[in-house]
Amino acid sequence: MFSSEVFSSGEGTLVATREVFSEDELAQLRGFPEPARAELIRYFTLAPADEAFVRKFRGQDNVLGATVQLCTLPWLGFVPDDVAAAAAVVARLSERLGVPAGALRRYGAREQTRTDHLREIAGYLGWRTVDGPRWKELEEFLFARAMEHDSPKLLFRQACEYLSSSRLVRPGVVKILERVAAARERAREETSTRVAPLLGPRRQAELDEMLTVDPVLGRTRLSWLGTGPVAATPAAVKDELGKLAYLRGLDADTLDLSVLPAERRRFLAGVGRRLTPQHLARREPARRYPILLTLIAQSAVDVLDEVLLLFDQALSGRESAARARLTEMLAERARGGEDRQALLDDILKIVLDLEVGDDQVGARLRGEMATSGCGQHGRPAASRCPVTTGTWR
């Protein structure tokens, strides 16, 4: 059963294949997928040289079976064990060769027959098997990819693409997963080695403090940093500025993590955001510290962006509110039959006066306007002027 298969994780433990792929996914990886029409035409159309090659095999079952392998190898990068399972493929090739499809039931009664045929077919097509040096090349390829991301499924599929593009017959799923696990572990060790010069005792202590509950905040610094603003309010701006000051106190804004690929940094910072402080605290230092380092470095950038955005939104909100109040004042003035331009001139004279502080504008407007523009035409200024009645703050 697929679920009982295990492979070495590269960490001295055994991992079941089901921890990476489900049984359905494993079946698909090992079997014949349903070919699309374009794939049938591209991969299962025999050239004269191909037909001459497969005709040399003795017996109709061997001719048809070898032909299925010949066409399948460039398509999938390997040949599934049950070659008779590809009904559409068998039907197309049996018609082309004039061989009954039922003949395939006798093919490969000896497993060695299929293996010998595949070896000959691979040589004819220019494909090779994965030997010692080629395994090493695959391992280096996977290590480079693992430094960018850590998904075993993605690494497995990239390994398959690498093998196919190199015309290397894909080994079994378990053998590839063993290399994937080893590459992931090697990437973790390399990450820890590269950031080690940034991790003195003081910084390690500061990073560990992020995972303990701060008595002032009532929660961990990690949780605090991960909680973004919900509104452009003065309190939100103040909180984000507090985060920025904290991160700069950790020198997060000057951390040089260029020793790690950009994708690796983004991946580790994402892990730090997803995991709880308790999960991170339980991780061994070699994994915990690189995650926290990349997280605070990325947070320093993100929080600065959030502060600027909040300021922009706050200023835009104040501008919109001021515009609405001005419109209301002008409308009130118009209803009294007074000149809008005169009122606007009165307002701008005070608002644009550099010697009048922001906190004095409202008082000056109320004082000036109560004795001038809003008191015309015989109506008491305080009864109808938005400035004197408190509409302008």
pLDDT reported for residue 372: 56
- Give the whole-number percent of the chain exceeding pLDDT 70: 76
Give the span between the Cα atoms of 351 and 360, in whole angstroms.
Answer: 10
383 — pLDDT class (breaks 50, 70, 90): very low
Higher-confidence position of 142 and 33: 142
- Select from 234, 224, 244 the least CA-distant residue to 310: 234
230 — pLDDT class (breaks 50, 70, 90): confident
What stretches of the chain adopt beta strand conformation (E)?
A: 6-8, 14-16, 213-214, 219-220
356 in Cβ contact with 364 (< 8 Å): yes
Q: Which residues contact 272 (CB under 8 A, 6 or more apart)?
A: 222, 280, 291, 292, 294, 295
Higher-confidence position of 113 and 230: 113
Element (H, E) at 61: helix 60-76
123 — pLDDT class (breaks 50, 70, 90): very high
pLDDT reported for residue 53: 96
Neighbours of 8 (CB within 10 A): 15
- Select from 295, 257, 242 the least CA-distant residue to 273: 295
Give the span between the Cα atoms of 354 and 119, in whole angstroms.
Answer: 88
Place of tokens 């039922």: 102
pLDDT surpassing 70 at residue 391: no
**Average pLDDT of 286-304?**
93
- Tell me the DSSP string of 105-132: GGTTSSHHHHHHHHHHHHHHHT-B---H
Q: Which structure tokens are listed for 193?
A: 């080695």
pLDDT surpassing 80 at residue 367: no
Place of tokens 């008779």: 84
Q: Model pTM?
A: 0.71
Phi, psi of 340 (to 5 degrees): -65, -40
Give the span between the Cα atoms of 230 and 133, in whole angstroms.
Answer: 56
* Buried-exposed string 245-281: b where 16+ CB fall within 10 A, e elsewhere: ebbeebebbebebeebbeebbebbbbbbeebebeebe
378 three-state secondary structure? coil
pLDDT tens digits, one per residue of 59-107:
999 999 999 999 999 999 999 988 778 888 999 999 999 999 988 888 8
Give the span between the Cα atoms of 21 and 29, in whole angstroms.
Answer: 9
64 in Cβ contact with 104 (< 8 Å): yes
pLDDT surpassing 70 at residue 110: yes
Q: Which structure tokens are listed for 6?
A: 């295990």
- Select from 130, 105, 129, 132 the least CA-distant residue to 118: 129
**Average pLDDT of 222-248?**
86
221 — pLDDT class (breaks 50, 70, 90): very high
Give the span between the Cα atoms of 265 and 248, in whole angstroms.
Answer: 19
pLDDT surpassing 70 at residue 118: yes
- Give the whole-number percent of the chain exceeding pLDDT 90: 55
Give the span between the Cα atoms of 66 and 113, in whole angstroms.
Answer: 10
Q: Which of 53-57, 126-130, 264-268, 332-336 has the lowest mean pLDDT?
A: 332-336
58 in Cβ contact with 99 (< 8 Å): no
